Amino acid sequence: MINAKLKKSLEINFPKQRRMSFLIALFSLLIYICLYSYIDSTLAYSWIFGLLVGFTLQRSRICFTAALRDPILFGMTELARAIILSLFIMTIGYFLIQIYQLSQGLPLPGRFVTLGWHIPIGALIFGIGAALSGGCASGTLVRIGEGFRLQWIALLGFIFGSTHGAYDGDRWYRLFTDIDFPHLPNLIGWRWAILIQLLLLIILYVLAYLWEKYKFG
Amino acid sequence: MSGRLQSLKDDKTFYQLVISQAIDRPWPYWFGGILLALFNLLYVIITGHYWGISNNLARWGAWVLEKVGVNSSQWIVWTYYDYYTEPWLDKQTWSNLGIIIGALIAILLTQNFKLKGIKDKKQFIMVLVGGWLMGYGSRIAIGCNIGGLYSSISSLALNGWIYLPFAITGVYFGNKIIMKLLL
Amino acid sequence: MNILDCIGEPCPLPLMKVEKRIKDLNRGDKIYIEVDHTCAMTNVPEWARKRGYDVEVEEVSFGEWKITVTKR
């Protein structure tokens, strides 16, 4: 009698899918421990980082393609503004980290790509692909986790395309210019770099807000 | 919440109320954005690496080709970014897998998981072509929307700012194509 | 009955279809949208609320939603 009641309460409080999620979370922790103790701590941290990011992206429905698309197509900028806010925090954080790293003589963290026409062309192709496949790189991965069979195909295409692009890579990289370290502080100095970037983000945020006001009256 | 799931997801106790408010409801975008920034910063501080996705996919593709017999490890691109003879030792492999599993955990937690099918052939081909273009474009520009856009802009790199307007234009044209074909 | 079957359709399509269909509706008319895309499930209600329409989201099954939009 009590047992049945307990079972029912368990069923309501911890339904099947939720139980599965706890199980998978536990299993993920196990993988973390294995990675940390037997292979490499960086891989273990990457794994945890991926879990947290995937969880956050799914829970908050953040999709980068949507952030690029919704302002123009539908006039909705809430998501785009959230990304801008995120970039704002990231910029300040990265700025501090980079200054600290430099002062300690450590390597500068960040993503720097040699400038050239390959960036606009690649970005354009990437954008078209992201719109067609219904999700950017992170969106595709999140949606695979959500159970979309369609995104398996997208990932397959992504891998094919990446490999194809890698094969063609050196042909495109002839478009490289001399600016191989496009770090803004390197180009215009630390003070101007952070000032201009933060100002630009604020302007974009305000413009997005006004655009939505205009679109929805 | 009503309908068929009433008995399963009825909010009754305090515990269930908390769960339904904190977990079942999607987080606001801004909250996700802030969390995303914090996790990224922590990741950079701890490991010293930026967050990227698509380099890894090219490595896996090349690895498979290498196994099949194509001499893909000798491609010139690998002078621009590293080739891994064992791609499972690439940190991006693990962060990518983590994103998939993290999303799975999140959606199971809210009981919204459903294996969703493919509607028709047209959709199949479009998604395959879309994925292909996405991969090719991200290799040309050396970065997808994460490495080339999010991590670039936040690390004060000019290449991210160049990437942004063209990615927006690309997405716009892509949506025009969708409208023509499917609407 | 205005029913839009968007099961299995990726993100921009459901909202595009709603936007197109809702133009032909009169005030007070209802439109039902069936989606199984988590993104569209937040996207469509958000758009409709911003337009000032009445929105109701009902979970039909695990990961499937029925959105009711009443034009105002």
Annotate chain A with three-state secondary structure: CHHHHHHHHHHHHCCHHHHHHHHHHHHHHHHHHHHHHHHCHHHHHHHHHHHHHHHHHHHHCCCHHHHHHHHHHCCCCHHHHHHHHHHHHHHHHHHHHHHHHHHCCCCCCCCCCCCECHHHHHHHHHHHHHHHHCCCHHHHHHHHHHCEHHHHHHHHHHHHHHHHHHHHHHHHHHHECCCCCCEHHHHHCHHHHHHHHHHHHHHHHHHHHHHHHHHHC
Average pLDDT estimate for B52-78: 87
DSSP class of residue B55 equals H
Q: How much is the pLDDT for A111?
A: 86
Residues of B in contact with C13 (CB under 8 A): 178, 182-183
Contact assessment for residue B98 and residue A46, using Cβ atoms and an 8 Å cutoff: yes
The CATH superfamily label for domain C2-70 reads TusA-like domain (3.30.110.40)
* Inter-chain CB proximity B156 and A146 less than 8 Å: no
* Inter-chain CB proximity A161 and B32 less than 8 Å: no
Q: How much is the pLDDT for A17?
A: 84
pLDDT single digits (tens) C2-37: 888 888 888 788 888 888 888 888 888 889 999 888
Q: How much is the pLDDT for B3?
A: 41
Q: How far is CA B162 from the centre of its chain?
A: 21
* Inter-chain CB proximity C12 and B107 less than 8 Å: no
Q: How much is the pLDDT for A130?
A: 92
Residues 6+ apart with CB under 8 A from B183: C13, C16, C17, C20
Q: Which of B9, B42, B137 sits opposite A125 (nearest CB)?
A: B137
Q: How much is the pLDDT for B4?
A: 39
Average pLDDT estimate for B100-122: 88
How far A16 CA lies from chain C's nearest CA (Å)?
A: 11
Average pLDDT estimate for B101-130: 89
- Token pair for residue A27? 């299993």
**Chain B interface disruption, residue of A111, A164, A191, most B CBs within 10 A:** A111
Q: Which of A58, A69, A78 sits opposite C46 (nearest CB)?
A: A78
d(CA C41, CA C57): 8
Q: Which domain holds residue B128?
A: 116-183
Q: How much is the pLDDT for A127?
A: 93
Residue B5 pLDDT > 70, yes or no? no
Of the candidates C55, B170, B140, C23, the residue with the CA atom closest to the CA atom of residue A133: B170
Chain A nearest-CA residue for C38: A61
Of the candidates A60, A153, A59, A43, the residue with the CA atom closest to the CA atom of residue B131: A153
How far B2 CA lies from chain A's nearest CA (Å)?
A: 16
**Chain B interface disruption, residue of C4, C18, C38, C61, most B CBs within 10 A:** C38
B173 is a domain residue? yes
Of the candidates B90, B51, B131, B160, the residue with the CA atom closest to the CA atom of residue A164: B131
Q: How much is the pLDDT for A154?
A: 92
Q: Which of B3, B112, B179 sits opposite C63 (nearest CB)?
A: B112
Q: Hey, which residues 27-66 in chain C have their CB within 8 Å of chain B? A: 36-38, 42, 58-64, 66
Percent of chain B with pLDDT over 90: 45
Local structure of B143: helix, strand or coil: coil
Residue B120 pLDDT > 50, yes or no? yes
Residue B1 pLDDT > 60, yes or no? no
What is the bridge-based pairing of β-strands C30-35 and C3-6? Answer: parallel
* Inter-chain CB proximity A76 and C10 less than 8 Å: no
User: Would you call B123 an interface residue with chain C, using a CB distance cutoff of 8 Å?
Assistant: yes
Q: How much is the pLDDT for A2?
A: 63
Average pLDDT estimate for B30-38: 94
Average pLDDT estimate for C39-61: 87
d(CA B51, CA B71): 29
Chain B nearest-CA residue for A16: B111
Of the candidates A142, A133, A116, the residue with the CA atom closest to the CA atom of residue A53: A142
Q: How much is the pLDDT for B175?
A: 92
pLDDT single digits (tens) A14-34: 778 888 899 999 999 999 999
Q: Report the mean per-residue pLDDT for chain B.
A: 85
B179 is a domain residue? yes
Measured CA to CA in angstroms, residue A51 lies from A107, B102, B151, B183, C68 at distances of 27, 4, 18, 36, 34
d(CA A25, CA A11): 19
> Predicted confidence band at B96 (pLDDT cuts at 50, 70, 90)?
very high
> Predicted confidence band at B7 (pLDDT cuts at 50, 70, 90)?
very low
pLDDT single digits (tens) B128-176: 999 999 999 999 888 888 988 999 999 999 999 999 999 999 999 999 9
- Token pair for residue B39? 């996790």
Number of domains forming the structure of chain B: 1
Q: Considering only CB atoms, which residues of chain A are within 8 Å of chain C? A: 17, 58, 61, 63, 65-66, 69-70, 73-74, 76, 78, 131, 133-135, 146-148, 150, 212, 216
* Inter-chain CB proximity C12 and A58 less than 8 Å: no
Residue labelled with tokens 């009443």 = C70
Rounded (5°) CA angle B131-C7-C10: 25
Q: Which residues of chain A have pLDDT under 50?
A: none
Count contacts between A and B (CB, < 8 Å). Answer: 541
Contact assessment for residue B103 and residue A61, using Cβ atoms and an 8 Å cutoff: no
d(CA A162, CA C43): 30
B181 is a domain residue? yes
Q: How much is the pLDDT for B144?
A: 86
Chain C nearest-CA residue for A132: C10
User: How high is the ipTM of this complex?
Assistant: 0.90
